[in-house]
Amino acid sequence: MNLKDLASLLSGVCKLHDIVYDDKTLPIKFGPDCYVFYGTPLTDGCKSSGKCREVAYYALTGGEQIEIMLVSPHSSTP
């Protein structure tokens, strides 16, 4: 799978999880079947006040589906 295809698939997965993702910004390969991308979670605070924050997520592509996980704010990764 190339990065453009992955970005397109991520866009759909993010919509299911109320995360805004710009599929023109390609994910970054972090390791085997693991990519980092940035998205904006549509929290209640974001929706009501417009104070939204972009955060880093992992995209795990090794299974039948793409799984996304929030990157811990305390980790040393992106």
Handedness of CA 51, 20, 42, 68 (dihedral sign): negative
Query: How many domains are contained in the chain?
Result: 1
Q: What is the pTM of this model?
A: 0.87
In this prediction, what percent of the chain has a pLDDT beyond 90? 86
> What span, in angstroms and rounded, lies between the C-alpha atoms of 76 and 78?
7
Query: Does position 74 have pLDDT exceeding 80, yes or no?
Result: no
Query: Is there a contact between 23 and 38 (Cβ–Cβ < 8 Å)?
Result: no
Cβ contacts of 29 within 8 Å, gap of 6 or more: 3, 35
Q: Report which residue type is found at 3.
A: L
Is the residue at 41 inside a domain?
yes
Query: Does position 34 have pLDDT exceeding 90, yes or no?
Result: yes
44: containing domain: 3-70
Please tell me what DSSP assigns to residue 36: E
Is the residue at 76 inside a domain?
no
Cβ contacts of 25 within 8 Å, gap of 6 or more: 7, 37, 38
pLDDT recorded at residue 7? 96
Is the residue at 23 inside a domain?
yes
